Structure 1
Amino acid sequence: MKPREVRLREFLSNSNIATPKSPPWVHSAPSSKLIKIIQDEKLVAMKCDVFKGEKLCYLFVGRAAYKGRDALNPEAWQLPSVFVMRFATPPPIKRIYPFDTGAFDRNRMPSYLTAFDMQNFELGSDDALIGRLISLYFDTPRRYVDRKSVDEDKIKEEHVLDMSHAEILALGKLYREGSTKNYDDRAAAIEVQVGEDIPLRKQDLLGVVIPEEYMRTDGVRESLLKLTKYIETYRLLPLSLSQHYSSIYDAVERIYKKAGVNI
Structure 2
Amino acid sequence: MDKKQKIILFLIFIILLIGFIFFMIYRPDIAEEKTSGKIYHSFHYNNISDFFTEQKADQIVEYININIAYNEEHEQALWVCYLLTKEHLNNPVCKRKNYFKTDLNINSKSATSNDYYKSGYDRGHLAPAADMLWSEDAMLESFYMSNISPQKPGFNRGVWKKLEGRTRKLALSEDSIIIITGPIFHNPMGSIGENKVTIPAYYYKILVDISAPNLGAVAFVIPNRNTKLSLDKFAISIDSLERISGLNFMEALPDDLEKQLESICDERLLNTIIQ
Q: RCO higher in 1 or 2 (8 Å CA, sep ≥ 6)?
A: 1
Q: Calculate the TM-score normalised by the size of structure 2.
A: 0.26
Larger Rg: 2
